[in-house]
Amino acid sequence: MPSRFHVKSGDEVVVIAGKEKGKRGKIVSVLTKKSRVFVEGVNIQKKHLRKSQQNPNGSIVEREGSIHVSNVMKAEKYDKRRSAVATPSQG
């Protein structure tokens, strides 16, 4: 398990694989032991909360789920790659 990744908390990233492919967002947190990251607005999941003093009726909360670190790329690197593909150098 690598302890260092190509992205860190606060980086803007693009999802390059999976059902959320093409979405952008900032990294909220990183789970190093599981090699996963939480990206703002990506992989939204519904969490059902049971009744409690804070939620007398219970509720359903939407929150980000984690995605594997290999499925994200820094946005600046992604944009650079896209522009290189769009305008091939002539010479």
Q: Which domains does the chain have, with CATH numbers?
A: 12-83 (2.30.30.30)
Q: What is the pLDDT of residues 3-32, one digit of tens each?
A: 688 999 999 999 999 999 999 999 999 999
pLDDT of residue 69: 95
Residue 15's H or E segment, with its range, is strand 12-15
Q: In the predicted model, is pLDDT for residue 1 greater than 70?
A: no
Ranges 9-13, 36-40, 47-51, 83-87: which has the least confidence: 83-87
Output the pTM of the full model: 0.80
Q: Which residues contact 9 (CB under 8 A, 6 or more apart)?
A: 27, 28, 29, 30
